Chains A and B, each alone.
Chain A
Amino acid sequence: MSAYAFYLATIIVYGAVDAMACMALNVEFGFAGISNFGFIIFQSVGAYTAAVLSMPPAATSNGGFQRYVLGWNLPWPLPWIGAALAGGLIALPFVFLVGKRLRGDFAAVGLLVSAVLLNLLVKNYVPFLNGDAGISIVPAPFQSLWNPQALAYQFAYGAVAVVLTILVYFLLRRITESPYGRSLRAMRDNDIVADSLGKDLRQQRATTLVLGGMVAALSGAILVGFISLWAPGAWGYAETIVLFAAIIVGGAGNHKGAVLGAILVPLGFEEITRFLPPVGNPTLVPALEWVAIGLLIIVFLWFRPLGILPERRRILSGQPRVKSRAPAEAPEDGGATIRLGNLDELDMRELLRIGEQPGDDHVVLSVEGLTKSFNGVEVVSDVSFEVRHGRVTGLIGPNGAGKSTVLAMLAGTLSSTSGRIIYEGRDITKMPSHRRAQAGLVRTFQLASEFKKLTVLENLVSAIPRQSGDSFWGSVRGRRHWGVEDRANIARASELLEGFGLSQYADAYAGGLSGGQRRLVEIMRALLAEPKVLLLDEPMAGIHPNLAHRIGDQLTRMAHAGVTIVMVEHELAMMDAYCDPVIVLAEGRVLAEGTMAELRAKSEVVEAYLVG
């Protein structure tokens, strides 16, 4: 009987450790979109740190049969705290890999390789952590007072592990269900767009890696205190794949899914195979276990890619029972059937939070000698122009003229090869794009750029600047800190949504909308980012002409209210109706500048269009 009881205690500890690790990886992968293929490093750092902090100095212990660093003999809970800190610290160097705009799969490969490398080093350099043999006889907490082999001790240990896991669950949920969590998911869905709306990707990714690393390390500390040994064989890079399998099976982006996955995959597999009779060659069962993990990943990604418990949709509109129209019903007609709502009645200045209105048409943004080359080929050469306050400035030109490249350099999405960009009297040429967005220089994209797995309302609210819950510490302080403000933000976004006549889609995933609707969502989102200068990249592309004209009228209203607009377009009709002045680009150079009437008189402009 007691054999089963000991077994049960072991299962409880393992389950808590796996659940904690899976939740941490899920915050990184499922919420922030960081594919941390080196996750096992963090758990392992926690286990080793807790071990060497709690063990006596290597020279004096157990006849010196093992070699390791530190050996500080610290009492519980200091080794666990130290482990968590070490897990957070070790995350910092990896920020270089994931912090910048490196393709997600390249960064993932870098992390995977780091895991293999560190394992190799620890295995071969014995004086550090006793090499391949690993560290053994790690003291259990309070072992001088209470026999760790006693059943009561083991259950108490399990209880502590479970309580800590529950605390971690609530902490992580508090963070992910806050405005900060919304920003993390926005980054996951489209990092370049999140960046252009003022989200600091490096800071968000660093925070996530540190947080995930600390939780992972804590799980490692709990494990090593219980099993009392830790060796390179326990943390091969493939162990990370097991945890990924758990999250894919359980449901990425759902904390309960991560816990379920932990119970089904790492815990389930280890325990099932324990009861298999030894068959075939000695490697057969472990080998088949790995095959099963591989199959599980492939089969789930194909048949149930969202996992058993998919990420749930966040209903912000306050009308949880109103059924959102199924995305499939969204008509693909360029938004011809969209009727703008009461937009004309809304106060643009109030909605866009435009402060004092200078009234004059001073130069807001000026560009001097802007040049961009790829592989030595100049796609934008020596472009200079000025943008005046409260006007709609058009950038026009044939395909490949460099319009979008200029816009991207203004917003900081692309860096310029040479030249200067002056905004409100400041040189912003080297300023990163999220800081430009925070300063009021907000862009939209030519291609669909909605955050697919955020609802329409979440897409809009995520863009609102200076939210008190949109930082790590703000989110930790909880709903009491940011709840009232968030409700006001949701109301503001809902008002705009109603103005654009899309209220019924408030709680639908933005990824399921039609092309025209997504375009509107993107424009609304940019407006909520409180732009002083709005940079629009072909906002009317793919939109029905009727709707395009109604949007154009609104742009004019915004300009009158004090927003400066720069618009890339290649429809001459739109330019005619709404833009003054218009800058013509051809082959990366400014060809002409003036009102449309003036431009029509110039033969080289007409020629550029006819030829181009």
Chain B
Amino acid sequence: MSSLGFGLITAAVLAIATVGFTMQFAVTNVLNLAYGSIMINSAFVSYYLNIHGLNAWVSLVGGVGTGAVASWALNRFIFTPFQRRNLAPITLVIVALGVDLCGTFGLQAIVGGGYVSFHQSQGQEYHFLGMFLSGLQLVIIGICAVILGLVHWMLKFTRLGKAMRATSANASLARNSGVKTRWVISATWLISGALCGLAGTVFAMNTGVFEATSAQLYIVLLLAAMFLGGPGEPYGAMLGALTIGVATEVSAAYLSPQYKEVVAFLVLLGMLTFRPYGIFGSEKTI
């Protein structure tokens, strides 16, 4: 039962990260494999704010801001110029991998290879339904739930959200119908980048100790959650993240923590081989 608790928190963080990742894929059609490096860079910015005396909330906002600005800049100055050249999608994936190397190891060059951790208290321990959760973990789950609710509200009820969905369904049609797609794409990268920064920071807080390459495997969980729910589908991403998050933690408890990610790997490979458009998706959605 305690593994279920861990699963919930992993799932909460993963849901935030996957929703951001899948939104980027939806509006720009790029598998942004540099996502993990922006997560960990956001976490480090937040960490430095924290150890220089700012409280956890302000530091968290710093991490979120870093993710937003870095993601927006990545799209504006790297992906968009490359996309204007009408290259194959694979070229952009290779570029993203290059950016990932620069982001992750550039950070490592600056901060060194050592592990760090936030100044924070885990808070009081709570248990209910047989699960043990620290105060911090409850706060994280709370934040994630609120943010996912906000994303839902934005997609369903705001003009921006509708414009995003229109752009993702058919960018040129949306443009011809008067949607300012460039602006929508910029806004999407800012928002999804904020989610990326948030996910990176809470991931680091929850992990306890972390270093520059800690998020390298995270991209696998992200991809597994995204492909499970169908690429480009924010609600699918939430569902996929819940499944993958719980499945990895439960399997870690019953098998061995070393094989924690194996479930995610197998899900991802299975989805790519048999249903690359998600459990509920079909060809036409791509």
Contact = CB atoms under 8 A, between A and B. Distances in A.
Interface of A: 35, 96-97, 102-110, 113-114, 116-117, 120-121, 124, 238, 241, 244-245, 248, 280-284, 286-291, 293-298, 301-302, 305, 374-375
Contact of B105 (A106, A245, A288): A288
Given A114-B269, A121-B262, A374-B282, A105 B90 contact: yes
Contact of B284 (A113, A245, A374): A374
A35 to B, nearest CB: 5
Interface in B70-90: 78, 81-82, 87-90
Given A109-B31, A295-B98, A375-B284, A102 B262 contact: no
B4 to A, nearest CB: 24
A287 B276 contact: no
B110 to A, nearest CB: 9
Contact of A291 (B82, B91, B109): B109
Contact of B220 (A113, A290, A298): A113
Given A120-B261, A375-B284, A238 B101 contact: yes
B99 to A, nearest CB: 7
Contacts of B33: 109
A65 to B, nearest CB: 21
Given A124-B259, A291-B102, A294-B102, A301 B95 contact: yes
A294 B105 contact: yes
B282 A35 contact: no
A184 to B, nearest CB: 16
Interface centre among B88, B97, B102, B113 (most CB of A within 10 A): B97
Contacts of B177: none
Given A291-B102, A294-B100, A295-B102, A301 B272 contact: no
Given A96-B273, A120-B261, A291-B101, A105 B93 contact: yes
A301 B100 CA distance: 15
B268 A113 contact: yes
A105 B223 contact: no
A107 B272 contact: yes
B283 A374 contact: yes
Given A102-B276, A298-B99, 7 more contacts: A96-B273, A124-B256, A283-B113, A287-B108, A290-B105, A291-B105, A295-B98
30 contacts: A97-B272, A97-B273, A102-B276, A103-B89, A103-B286, A105-B89, A105-B90, A107-B272, A109-B223, A110-B268, A110-B273, A113-B223, A113-B269, A114-B265, A117-B262, A117-B266, A124-B258, A281-B112, A282-B113, A287-B109, A288-B109, A291-B102, A291-B109, A293-B98, A294-B97, A296-B98, A298-B78, A298-B99, A298-B102, A374-B282
Interface centre among B88, B105, B220, B268 (most CB of A within 10 A): B105
Interface residues of B, number: 48
Contacts of B272: 97, 102, 106-107, 109-110
Contacts of B101: 238, 241, 290-291, 293-294, 297
Interface of B: 31, 33, 78, 81-82, 87-95, 97-102, 104-106, 108-109, 112-113, 212, 217, 220, 223, 256, 258-259, 261-262, 265-266, 268-269, 272-273, 276, 282-286
Nearest to A34: B90
B264 to A, nearest CB: 9
A297 B268 contact: no
Contacts of A290: 101, 104-105
B286 to A, nearest CB: 7
B97 A241 contact: yes
Contacts of A302: 81-82
A113 B94 CA distance: 14
A286 B261 CA distance: 26
A474 to B, nearest CB: 29
A106 B262 contact: no
Contacts of A248: 94
A389 B262 CA distance: 57
A97 B97 CA distance: 20
Contacts of A116: 217, 220, 265
B90 A108 contact: yes
A96 B282 CA distance: 19
A493 B106 CA distance: 54
Q: Which 6 A-B pairs have the closest CB atoms?
A: A294-B101, A297-B98, A283-B113, A290-B105, A294-B102, A287-B109
Main secondary structure of the interface of A (DSSP, over half): helix
A72 to B, nearest CB: 29
Contacts of A289: 105
Contacts of A113: 220, 223, 265, 268-269
B27 to A, nearest CB: 16
Interface centre among B92, B93, B283 (most CB of A within 10 A): B93
Nearest to B231: A106
B265 A117 contact: yes
B106 A287 contact: yes
Contact of B95 (A117, A120, A298): A298
A35 B87 CA distance: 14
Interface centre among B102, B109, B262 (most CB of A within 10 A): B109
A297 B282 contact: no
A501 B235 CA distance: 55
A191 B82 CA distance: 22
A592 B254 CA distance: 65
A136 B92 CA distance: 39
B109 A284 contact: yes
Contacts of A105: 31, 89-90, 92-93
Contacts of A281: 112-113
Contacts of A110: 268-269, 272-273
A129 B282 CA distance: 41
A109 B94 CA distance: 10
A238 B36 CA distance: 14
A102 B106 CA distance: 33
B67 to A, nearest CB: 19
A457 B104 CA distance: 46
Contacts of B89: 103-105
A375 B282 contact: yes
Contacts of A238: 101
B88 A104 contact: yes
Given A104-B89, A105-B31, A110-B268, A291 B217 contact: no
A113 B105 CA distance: 20
Contacts of A114: 265, 269
A412 B81 CA distance: 36
Nearest to A295: B102
Contacts of B88: 104
A156 B93 CA distance: 41
Contacts of A109: 31, 33, 93, 223, 272
A294 B90 contact: no
A282 B108 CA distance: 11
Nearest to B266: A117
A245 B100 CA distance: 14
Contacts of B276: 102-103, 106
A605 to B, nearest CB: 28
A301 B261 CA distance: 33
Contact of A301 (B91, B220, B223, B259): B91
Nearest to A114: B269
